[in-house]
Chain A
Amino acid sequence: MKILVCISVVPDTTTKITFTDNDTQFNKTGVQFIINPYDELSLTRALEITEANGGSVTVITVGEADTEPVIRKALAMGAGDAIRIDAQPKDGMYVAAQIAEQAKIGGYDFILTGRESIDYNGGQVQGLIAEMLNWPLINVVMKLDAEGNTIKATRDIDGGRESLSVDLPVVISAQKDLCEPRIPNMRGIMMARSKPLNVVVASDKNDYTSIASYELPPAKSGVKMIDAENAEELIDILHNTEKLF
């Protein structure tokens, strides 16, 4: 089993988001970047599976050199090696095409991703990779096991759960509850420095979309408290000020 885990490098969840260039660029200044939390789950589960059943785990990301400290954290967690496709990730199509190409070259038979990245929340890459490789996809999985070449996955569906079985090769995306994300141990952190982090040149692929502008949600306005006795005042505000009816 040769597992390829796709890693997205995303801003830390506590980041204060700002934009530059007329609200068309995300402002990276002072931002701490982390492994996309859903990808961290897929990586942890991939490591658990290979530690129990054998096989290898490679992590892959599309990103520029400044993503390497985050990639090395994935190596510290236990991935055997890493591939960085040297490009600014554009849209999901671009990223998926780059990864699918490397997946073919490397002969992987199991690709894991997160259900989505927590920055752009596209949730497309796993489906696009599966299509490009002509592999099946099981999306948004919260339980995952491997028996030989057969993968068993469980996912939430409306009002219940379904359990699926599929033979390799397959693409699977991780949902929370899949496992406890692994915190790298000291030995892993030290070993990460000597593990291969291969930088490959991005191939010429199309990006089909571009960001026209970003917009922050409107700031929350203050809460106006109205006494229970003054229900008429509330109705007046809802009707005349907010014009809700």
Chain B
Amino acid sequence: MNFSQSETQQMIRQAARDFAEKYIKPHVMEWDETQHFPRDLFTKMGEQGFMGVLVPEEYGGSGLGYFEYSAVVDEIAQVCGSIGLSTAAHNSLCTGHILYFANEEQKKKYLPKLASAEWIGAWGLTEPNTGSDALRMKTIGKKVDGGWILNGAKNWITHGISSDVAVVLARTGELLDSKGITAFIVERGTEGFKGGKKENKLGMRASETAEMIFEDCFISDDNVLGEVGQGFIQAMKILDGGRISIAALSLGIAKGAYKAALQYSKEREQFGKPISSFQAISFKLADMATEIEASQLLIDQSCYLKNEGLPMTKESAMAKYYASEVAVRASTEAVQIFGGYGYTKDFPVEKFYRDSKLCTIGEGTSEIQKIVISRHILK
């Protein structure tokens, strides 16, 4: 068993780190406070190859695997969770759905634009009243001559307003029928499709979260993604891979909080010595470091299985569940180590603390991950 990173993987990690330091770090608090979604940054990230990490080179992507992808998300999230989240959502969900399930013509049309970030992608599954309970979705696709008419709304959608293309799941069959849902590719500007309210959030404030509204929106048959009735099954597979990226996002936030706390604990003196010399603080750091390593190993395991095309639903759920809880714990402890300073916006840990909470909620709550895991172990 080999736990070492290849030279190429190290170089990719370093490139993502350098990029985040240079182009993200100076703006983190400004974007957070103004809830600014930095569209231009993503164009730069596209040039770096971060927006189509898994997309094969023939479609303009980087043609890499999940180890490299999770490393990029991790490194970016160490500097800014919001940008990490947007990177994950763009790569795994919209781009991922088209990559894994679209026909050749659709792949040629959309993947190069998404991989270069000329276009930003969104993915719409969740609705106001159906989060985890996606089979009860109310967005309806009605068959008409030459295509489908969509009606309904999707909520909590990353890039719901700013995306240029969205993959949207809509009910085309019976309620609660897992083969009654179909995926559609909807381009911005399509009549009857518009962005709705932008959410004002606790954290991840530079990552746009908004509503997508469909009112008699005509989608041609050419924009059906995969087979009619396969949307829900596709979506579950997309979420399997998506969980790896949210786990990596969580890991990055945990590492960012931990590194800040580690450094601060060595510099901050109380009672005549650095606070790191007190066991109350050093044990916190030991717990953080151990849980971060454990998260990394769970993520690496999922990446390996995914790269090999092996079943990984349980493992990715475990990675996402564990790493996201670690992100919350580590950033909470980081604020505690910083004390009063940690509660201010002059230090980075309060942002990690706010951003981390999304990780135990988005793309399946911790409780849903436990359902997934328990179903597998009780089979």
Enumerate chain A interface residues (CB-CB to B < 8 A).
Answer: 69, 72-73, 76, 183-187, 189-190, 192-193
Contact = CB atoms under 8 A, between A and B. Distances in A.
A174 to B, nearest CB: 18
Contacts of A189: 8, 11-12, 15
Contacts of B12: 186, 189
A186 B48 contact: yes
10 contacts: A69-B7, A69-B11, A183-B18, A186-B15, A186-B50, A187-B49, A187-B57, A189-B8, A189-B12, A193-B8
B91 to A, nearest CB: 12
Given A186-B48, A187-B62, A190-B63, A72 B15 contact: no
Nearest to A76: B11
Contacts of A72: 7, 11
Interface in B24-57: 47-50, 53, 57
A76 B68 CA distance: 16
B7 A184 contact: no
A187 B18 CA distance: 16
B47 A190 contact: no
Contacts of B49: 185-187
B19 A183 contact: yes
Contacts of B379: none
Interface residues of B, number: 19
Contacts of B48: 183, 185-186
B102 to A, nearest CB: 22
B22 interface: yes
B47 A185 contact: yes
Given A186-B49, A187-B57, A73 B62 contact: no
B217 interface: no
Nearest to B9: A189
Given A72-B7, A183-B48, A185-B48, A190 B15 contact: no
A36 to B, nearest CB: 16
B22 A186 contact: no
A189 B7 CA distance: 10
Contacts of B7: 69, 72
Nearest to B45: A185
B64 interface: yes
Nearest to B57: A187
Nearest to B64: A186
Contacts of B19: 183
A186 B18 contact: no
Given A72-B11, A186-B48, A193-B8, 4 more contacts: A73-B11, A183-B18, A186-B15, A189-B15
A24 B12 CA distance: 35
A102 to B, nearest CB: 25
A193 B12 CA distance: 13
* Most chain A C-beta atoms within 10 Å of own C-beta, residue among B10, B18, B48, B63: B48
B18 A190 contact: no
A183 B22 contact: yes
B64 A185 contact: no
A210 B256 CA distance: 44
A66 B57 CA distance: 30
A186 B54 CA distance: 11
Nearest to B61: A186
B90 to A, nearest CB: 15
A35 to B, nearest CB: 11
* Shortest 10 CB-CB contacts between residues of A and residues of B: A186-B49, A186-B62, A185-B48, A185-B49, A183-B18, A189-B11, A183-B19, A183-B15, A184-B15, A69-B7
Contacts of B10: 69
B40 to A, nearest CB: 15
A225 to B, nearest CB: 16
B16 to A, nearest CB: 9
A183 B62 CA distance: 15
A135 to B, nearest CB: 33
Contacts of B47: 185
A184 B12 CA distance: 8
Nearest to A77: B15
Contacts of A185: 15, 47-49
A192 B62 CA distance: 13
A72 B12 CA distance: 12
Interface centre among A69, A184, A186, A187 (most CB of B within 10 A): A186
A76 B14 CA distance: 12
A184 to B, nearest CB: 5
Contacts of A184: 11, 15
A189 B57 CA distance: 13
Contacts of B11: 69, 72-73, 76, 184, 189, 192
Contacts of A192: 11
A43 B64 CA distance: 26
A59 to B, nearest CB: 15
Residue from B8, B18, B22, B57 whose CB has the most chain A CB atoms within 10 Å: B8
A73 B12 CA distance: 10
A195 to B, nearest CB: 13
B22 A190 contact: no
Which residue among A69, A189, A190 has the maximum number of chain B CB atoms within 10 Å of its CB? A189
B119 to A, nearest CB: 18
A74 to B, nearest CB: 11
A76 B7 CA distance: 12
A220 to B, nearest CB: 15
A190 B62 CA distance: 8
